[in-house]
Amino acid sequence: MVWKRRIAYINLTTGKIISKPIPKQLRQLYLGGRGINMYLLYNHLTPEVDPLSSENILLVGTGLLCGIPALGSGRCDIAAKSPVTGAIGDSNIGGFFAPELRLAGFDHLMISGKAEKPVYLLANDGNIEIHDANHLWGKDTFETQDMIRDDVKDEEVKSLVIGVAGENMVRFANVRTGMKNSAGRTGMGCVMGSKNLKAIAARGTMDIEFSHPDELLDYCKQMNDMITETRWARAQSKWGTLIIYSNTNTTGLIRTRNFQLNRLEKGEDLEPENMDRYTIGMSGCYGCSVHCRHRYVLKEGSYAPIFAEGPEYTSLGAFGTMVDCNKMETVLVANHLVNKYGLDTLETGGLIAWAMELYEKGIIDEKDTAGLKLEWGNEEILFQLITQIAHREGFGNILADGFNTAISKIGKGSEYYAIQIKGMSSLHSDERPTPSLALGICTSTRGADHLRGRPAIDLYGLPQEMLQEIYGAPVSSDYTAYEGKSRMVWWQELLYAVTDAIGTCKFQTVFCAVHAPKWTEFKNLIQLATDMKFTESELMDVGERIYTIERMFNLREGFSRKDDALPERYFKESTPTGLPIAKGKKIDRNGFEKMLDEYYVLHGWDHNGSPKKETLERLGLDKEPSHIV
């Protein structure tokens, strides 16, 4: 059956590869994907290991429902100890690799050790081989995938690859597949580079048997209809995630010039309809009926010709608003460069914006930047820094180690201007007017984050009756209020943990669409696909179990309540622009601490954020590490 896919243990130092079945007990506790990855990371990684040492382990896991024809079910989870933060390293990626790995017979890979020379892995119909990758080293993320297809002589091979940024162990290097898909956050490409692992390829022809195929197919059709009938999905199908910009910039919810402004003036060219000048069509991931990705062409300019996919809303902020560049073409070129080199969009843009503010304030000068004038809105400086970071050249080499190291090297009060949490850059959103979003970026187990617990529907001003029906208790419909916001973040954390564990798309659940699949639909899909039965409450417990074991990992690595904290600027500086609802806002320190207390209570953690004994017992985590596999 579908849940009987295997786990492979691959030691790159010795070349030894063994595979084992994944016990159904583990499926019932963690489902798959992110869930089982987090279990394996907690069980098999020695505390305080250097993330760049051969002792770190790299995990690749497909979701339990990966391969169903609905909800963008082609998602894969990649995990390790993060070289960016030293905490949980974990990133989710779409596209077509995950279903191919399942067809090759594997749901999870646990990769340890370090190869003596560059290698890539090939999974094919129940077997895994280690191949030489010397000829791939130095190639970009697009070339690498093409060359692997040529090696294997099969156009259907799908690959997870790193670019030169991963090879150079840039701490926020990402993992890529296809033209656009990226496991961007927490530096998983850096971990691959530290292991001399250039790529993981998969090709499979094995059947995936579902328990109730006819009923599952009918229900998947209902799920796709449910999604495509939402206004959010219809807007995404036309504009992609760029549609968010139209609302957030107008309101004053966007970081501009790092953190100095909360709105980009003269930002009209970044409006989503301007993509019409470049777009040649929309594409999507496996099992997706939305198709939210622009395919675009740039025919002119010093970097032309470019044929690429994107950009996401995140790239629009990273290379538009945060660095005060107001041309869509600038964003499109930068988006292509980070994808080519294999860099995390957010971390790259966040660090460059921070450096530009330091330069403006005289904290660094041209002696520090090797002659670069880090002026706002200078697109050539932006492109040059992206290239320098990827190749660890010049001033880019300082930024390539991320915020924690760069702050220690620069000093001079530079930490105050860094918009980061646990060492990881935040999205370009300005959360000062939105306490729920501010709490969500702080409590994320992997650092500043908009994909771990963001209750984006808080911005809609929904009726309180509707919010109570969703979240199970009173929640204020005013997004500037503090009441009930801890519950929103907690609930979304559990939902997203399960979404990542089943391998579907977060944008096709209650993220930006209220009337989207959630607990009821998830339990029905799981039962039809696997014959495993869960109540809604039991599924929420799975989400709680995943989030709590991540918390346990971070506590073991020395993190605590002190790290669930906002940068001081959120408390000291008020938003200077925007509509009346957003202008003049900053986070109230007492209100924030009260939300954090309430959030810990909802999770069953104590005042310092440590899971209570009874919580661990309830979730079956009191005997971890258990080494079931």
By mean pLDDT, which of 4-8, 350-354, 415-419 is the weakest? 4-8
What is the average pLDDT score of the chain?
Answer: 97
Long-range contacts of 607-616 (CB under 8 A, 24+ apart): 607/561, 608/560, 608/561, 609/551, 609/555, 609/560, 609/561, 609/564, 610/555, 610/560, 611/548, 611/551, 611/552, 615/548, 616/548
Looking at residues 277-302, what average pLDDT do you find?
94
Tell me: pLDDT of 410 over 90: yes
Residue for token pair 């504009």: 239
Tell me: pLDDT of 341 over 70: yes
Looking at residues 434-451, what average pLDDT do you find?
97
Looking at residues 590-614, what average pLDDT do you find?
98
Looking at residues 477-506, what average pLDDT do you find?
98
Looking at residues 245-263, what average pLDDT do you find?
96
pLDDT in the model for residue 301: 87
Shared domain check, 48 and 134: yes
Domain-located, residue 239: no
Phi and psi at residue 124, to the nearest 5°:
-150, 110
Residue 405's SS3 state is: helix
Shared domain check, 444 and 406: no
Domain-located, residue 225: no
- Integer Cα distance of 179 and 165 in angstroms: 17
Shared domain check, 532 and 608: yes
Domain-located, residue 229: no
Residue for token pair 């760049």: 52
Q: Which domain holds residue 15?
A: 2-203
Of the chain, the end-to-end C-alpha distance in Å amounts to 19
pLDDT in the model for residue 89: 98
**510-552 pLDDT tens trace:** 999 999 999 999 999 999 999 999 999 999 999 999 999 999 9
Shared domain check, 157 and 34: yes
Q: For the chain, what percent of residues have pLDDT higher than 70?
A: 100
**317-336 pLDDT tens trace:** 999 999 999 999 999 999 99
Shared domain check, 379 and 257: yes
Domain-located, residue 248: no
Domain boundary among 425, 451, 485: 425
Shared domain check, 179 and 122: yes
Domain-located, residue 316: yes
Q: How confident is the model at residue 231 (pLDDT cuts 50, 70, 90)?
A: very high
Shared domain check, 62 and 166: yes
Shared domain check, 443 and 365: no
By mean pLDDT, which of 298-312, 323-337, 338-352 is the weakest? 298-312
Shared domain check, 545 and 473: yes
pLDDT in the model for residue 162: 98
pLDDT in the model for residue 266: 94
Tell me: pLDDT of 3 over 70: no
Q: How many domains does the chain have?
A: 3
Shared domain check, 513 and 613: yes
Tell me: pLDDT of 5 over 90: no
Domain-located, residue 336: yes
Tell me: pLDDT of 2 over 90: no
Domain boundary among 371, 401, 425: 425
- Integer Cα distance of 489 and 497 in angstroms: 12
According to DSSP, the β-strands at 175-177 and 181-183 are: antiparallel
Shared domain check, 485 and 439: yes
Tell me: pLDDT of 1 over 70: no
Tell me: pLDDT of 561 over 90: yes
CATH of residue 65? 3.60.9.10
Domain-located, residue 400: yes
CATH of residue 497? 1.10.599.10
Tell me: pLDDT of 4 over 90: no
What would the two tokens of residue 572 be? 């000291």
Tell me: pLDDT of 311 over 80: yes
Domain boundary among 183, 203, 223: 203
pLDDT in the model for residue 507: 94
Is-contact 556 41, C-beta < 8 A? no
CATH of residue 332? 1.10.569.10
Domain-located, residue 608: yes
Q: What is the 3-state secondary structure (H, E, C) of 473-485?
A: CCCCCCCCCCCCH
Shared domain check, 355 and 320: yes
- Give DSSP secondary structure letters for 210-236: -SSHHHHHHHHHHHHHHHHTSHHHHHH
